[in-house]
Amino acid sequence: MDCERARRAISERMDGERLSHRLAAAVEGHVATCAGCAAFQRGAWTLREAARFEVAPAVPDLVEPIMAAVAREARERPPVRLRLLPGRRSAGPFLPRLSRRLAPVAAALVVGLVAGSLAAGGPWRGPERLPIAAADVTEGVARAASQLTAYQARFSVTEHHFGPDVPVRELSMNVWFRAPERFRLDVVDHTQYPTEDVTPTDLQLVANGSSWYSVGPSACPIGVCPRTETVVENRVPFSASTPTPTDLILPVATLADADQLEVLGEGTVLGRPAIEVRLPFERAKPLFPFLSLGGSWRPFFAGDRVDLWLDARSWFPLRYTVYPAPGRERDQWALRFGLPDESSRLPIFEVTTLSMSEQPPASSTFRIPETKRASDQGAAAVSLSDASKETGFRPIAPAEVEGLDLYQVVLPAPPVEEAEETKREETLITYSKGLTWLKLGETRRWKGNTLFGPVGLRAQEVALPNGGVAYYEPATPDHGRRLSIHAAGTDLYLETNLSRAELLRVAGSLPVTGMTLPKAWRVRTSPGGVTERASLERAAAELAFAALVPALEALPSGYTHASAELVRFKKTIALNVYFQQEEADFGAGPIRLHEEEAKKLPPASSAIQSEVEVRGVVGRWIPDRNQLEWVEDGVYYSLDAAELDLADLLALAESLQVYAAP
């Protein structure tokens, strides 16, 4: 390859062109051996930095004079109204429907008809402030969720910047629901792609009690993607692995934490009184379940903002829009994906309700398509007395279930390694009302060396109202809020989409007293040393230096202290402190603070790093790992979190103070 070709290819790749694998490999090979082309590549990036991040000249505001001139022009030469010819634009079958949105729509079936003017709702026209508090929204949505018995709705979905050849995609989405566990979601892709060899993102998910079905193209880069069909029988109720993404109907999980949403105000959207709230994309992920269901979608940045309009009476989402986060960090992220410049004022993804109703959908809506292969979760629904006969114990039940009704008792399949043992040793009692659900698992023969149920050993230790102890984790994409209780003679876990406070009330009403973790679960040995979970107080006392901890008010909103552990390796003792979100974590992950005696920073864990000033010393920032490290008074500190940016971590580092035992 000659330098001319290599530099042209480097240039094209920088500008978002896709190189063939062969060409990309040839360029890499050439750059590795040609100092001139390597310098060209570095220089081109330096130039981009200079061009894109330079100080912009002050731009005059010309809207008024321009519009005055335009208005004169319009008066003197009124524009002729053009009739749009059918088929004129190649925008797909969905656009004409949207362009007629000003016309009133009538449909007898539709109770909560949504149509009409969008005019009041433009995000740049700030609606009036409302006295409504974020907590009112959270409670309102949760209350509505427990009362909803049926729902059906149709949405339009518009996605921008799917790819260089596909600037806009138009899709439609239908959702049907009947409490407690009949749910269906259809996504139909109306985009007209420039080439034939693109698989449209057509998706379907159907849950019908113990059966679950999904179909859609596998996620793959542009090209023909094979369809994947999944059928599950004997599903565990409210199973996380076969989910029913009901936040599309009422965003219970999305809006669970009042601390993390901002109420912008009220307005009229689609002709209905509505409330607008704002939250980061990372928090709003349950509103976008289709992104993980299959097909190909554009990427989103964790800090992109989601503006969500909720119906003021029913709390149903009416419209939600994703806007790019401003700032250099996102610009750099966008470059990695070859995205074009995206203004933070313009939407990149929009979901708009076209119609919705609380009429129960026909039962046939939830028919599972016939397929040859089905996997089996092995859950057997039984009566309470049969459950006792099979397991040999009568499961305990909470005195308080927050108004939910008993739904099903099932015996989950034994773990695979014990499959030859036919005896089932676990019970699962489920409760529900509307969209709200609660599961209580129990076993009397727990042999694991960790907590029973989907709860990890770094979970937060919480005191229950009955004097016992439980271990709590927030809701995640895979699970609801859950806690595990280790008691004398029995192990239990609870999982739910009730709030944390409600979950603790239910747990506190169980006739057992939770104990702290046994030593065998707390202490683990690995090649990296011996790790022991300990209270912060005991851990701090064991260290040869004074432990620093962040001020609780400096933690990002929604976070709280979860757990601490000591790591002993040879003669050193290090401390890890974990902070987790209280209500829900859809990808931000825990924050970890590591402290260890050291004179200098350890070797860098990534090639991409930069120096930053932290607490008056020069530290290191590793963007790939979202990790901030520094050495201060002979102690090495490291702060990391999956999706916190440098500014958040620096603020946290600045707040560190010597831990004082209570």
Partner 1 sequence: MQDPDPRTLGRAREGDLGAFEDLVRMYQADVWRFAYHFTRDRSLAEDVTQEAFLRAFRFLRSFRGDSKFTSWLFRIARNCAMDAIRARKSHLAKEPPPTVGPPDPEARVELHAALEAVSDEHREPFLLIEVFGLSYQEAADVLHLRVGTVKSRMHRARHAMMSALAVEEDAGGL
The residues of the shown chain that bind partner 1, judged by CB under 8 A, are 3-4, 7-8, 10-12, 15-17, 35-37, 39-40, 42-44, 46-48, 50-52, 54-57, 59-63, 65-67, 69-71, 73-74, 77-82, 84, 88-89, 91, 95, 98-99, 101, 118, 160, 164, 167-168, 340-343, 345-347
Closest separation between CB of residue 351 and partner 1, Å? 14
Closest CA to 414 of 237, 236, 211: 236
Smallest distance, partner 1 to C-beta of residue 75, A = 10
Beta strands (DSSP E) in 164-219 are: 166-178, 182-189, 203-208, 211-217
At closest approach, how far in Å is the CB of 310 from partner 1? 22
Whichever of 31 and 175 has its CB closer to partner 1, that residue is 31
Looking at the Cβ atoms of 341 and 633, the one nearer to partner 1 is 341
Instruction: Count, in order, helices (H) and strands (E) of the chain.
Output: 13, 32
DSSP states of 519-531 as a string?
HHHHEEEETTEEE
Nearer to partner 1 among residue 40 and residue 393 (C-beta): 40
Nearer to partner 1, 44 or 150 (CB): 44
Contact criterion met (CB below 8 Å) for 382 and 413 = no
Upstream peptide bond of 180 is cis (omega within 30 degrees of 0)? yes
Are residues 255 and 586 in contact, defined by beta-carbon separation less than 8 angstroms? no
Nearer to partner 1, 76 or 478 (CB): 76
CB of 309 to partner 1, least distance (A): 16
Among residues 6 and 575, whose Cβ is nearest to partner 1? 6
Amino acid identity for residue 489 in this structure: G
Give CA separation, 387 vs 106, 404, 428, in Å.
51, 21, 9
Buried/exposed 249-281: b ≥16 CB within 10 Å, e otherwise: bbbbbbbbbbebbebbebbbbbebebbbbebbb
CB of 117 to partner 1, least distance (A): 11
Nearer to partner 1, 91 or 380 (CB): 91
Output 217 or 324, the one with its CB closest to partner 1: 324
Cα distance between residue 471 and residue 460, in whole Å = 5
Query: Pairing relation of β-strands 150-163 and 112-113?
Result: unpaired
Q: How far is the CB of 338 from partner 1 (least distance, A)?
A: 10
Can you tell me whether residue 149 is helix, strand or coil?
coil
Return the number of the residue (23 or 118) whose C-beta is nearest partner 1: 118
Angle between the 3-14 and 21-33 helix axes, to the nearest 10 degrees?
120
Shortest separation between residue 11's beta carbon and partner 1, angstroms: 4
Minimum distance of partner 1 from residue 100's CB (angstroms) = 10
Shorter beta-carbon distance to partner 1: residue 137 or 318: 318
**Start-end of H helices in 518-604:** 519-522, 536-542
Q: Which is nearer to partner 1, 41 or 210 (CB)?
A: 41
Cβ-Cβ contacts under 8 Å for 81 (sequence gap 6 or more): none
Geometric angle at alpha carbon 150, from 148 and 154, rounded to 5°: 115
Please tell me what DSSP assigns to residue 332: H
Q: How far is the CB of 89 from partner 1 (least distance, A)?
A: 5
Q: Give me the least distance between CB of 60 and partner 1, in Å please.
A: 6
| In the complex, minimum distance from the CB of residue 102 to partner 1, in angstroms, rounded to a whole number | 9
Provide, rounded to whole angstroms, the least separation between the CB of residue 31 and partner 1.
12
Nearer to partner 1, 342 or 502 (CB): 342
Distance CA(285)–CA(122), nearest Å, equals 22
The residue among 37 and 555 lying less far from partner 1, judged by its C-beta, is 37
- Of 237, 261, 159, 141, whose CA–CA distance to 200 is shortest? 159
Half-sphere exposure of 362 (CA within 13 A, CB side): 4
99 versus 147: smaller Cβ distance to partner 1:
99
- The whole-angstrom separation of Cα 284 and Cα 310 is 14
In the complex with partner 1, the residue whose CB is nearer, 269 or 555, is 269
Q: In 198-284, where does DSSP find H-type helix?
A: 281-284
Shortest Å, Cβ 269 to partner 1: 15
Burial class (CB in 10 A: 0-12, 13-18, 19+), 369: exposed
Helices 21-33 & 35-53 angle (0-180, nearest 10): 110
Sheet arrangement for strand 481-487: 380-382, 405-411, 426-433, 436-443, 490-496, 481-487, 469-473, 460-463
333, 311 contact by CB (below 8 A)? no
